[in-house]
Structure 1
């Protein structure tokens, strides 16, 4: 009979190379929205500079709550955050563009806190917009005139325009078609590779987490806690749909992990 209290995975640090400097350290000892109901049990995260870490788990397990605590949007009932980033940005599942501003003005909005002239802000916003595939005609449109995918691209452009060294992603790709989703994956990974941006992402999509991440944390509910840490064994440049399917199969071979996603018999779709 297996020991149910034993850790699912022991991670032995690699001492042969110098560790990357930490970008973010989060320790949550307890979090409650209601005094009698614990939302998060003790859970910790160390995010290195230039590292991509995803949190996956069933709906309602506390993934987004942990991310919001890590981003400083809410305060844990008991815990500590150490954020070494100079500039952070967050992207939600909802685009949250300002409806009374044009797309260009939305993208440039976050730049108002920087010491840039209006001309410099608009020039920088245009460069990011073009990299996202927007045309000049798109830039004068308001959010209500844009498709859902265009609005989400605009939100990502707004986040990347400030050149963050720490990026929080709360399921921002879930409403996009696979082609557009892949384009945005590449934009995010370009920031990681070129600027050593660190990323903490919440997603329901196991394949997405495996495709983008250096490490995947699986969160279990009642109360939310990290049940397993999985280091993706392949460099991102070598990941294909086929070997990602193999990695997913290996991850879900653990019955306790498969049960979290109701995928105990995951080979059958229906």
Structure 2
């Protein structure tokens, strides 16, 4: 076989160059697919500079076999959500419940964009006045507690006092129902950190603090030393138990997962 002429070599070079350009032009143009789609592929250069079968579905980002132009042809679009709605009202005065606020998805994430954040938040709530404007004045009975994270929805301006104008009570946990360990809703997972024998801190702050007695319901202010006291977790009627008062402090010093608030 004879040597190729200069003209033939030039022709082959141009043909090869055109072929590379042709394949490169293919890529993911018009081929962006959601999720895992095994039919969403072509033959072109991959992002790892290997020529062959490449994909244009969202999964290719994880499997590292995207076509070279996936990032530009299929740009990631994060989830877009609306603003939070206003907090809902407490269920009824003088009874612990939850406030709820929600937001909605305005646009689903595309092309491996950032996933949607949580769409609902809950917060511990208790109206300390009845419908006639009278204070509930509940000083006896079980202590209603919630985690610090879900205390932000409490009505805190009835007394015109800042939230830190209170005190802290340390309790030793004596008993709790088994249901506390299996609570798995976003607003009840904190109950899984309750353990027998552990010391917990519970803050007494306005407006849960009585304006007259300067105490919170169930804080053991009037109880005898070593008296067994009862508590109830807000958000689950099945999670409750007993504890004994250890001491009163100016500020809580327990780990965050063992720090709660009277409500």
Q: Tell me the TM-score normalized by structure 1.
A: 0.20
Structure showing greater Rg:
2
Higher helix share: 1
Q: Tell me the TM-score normalized by structure 2.
A: 0.20
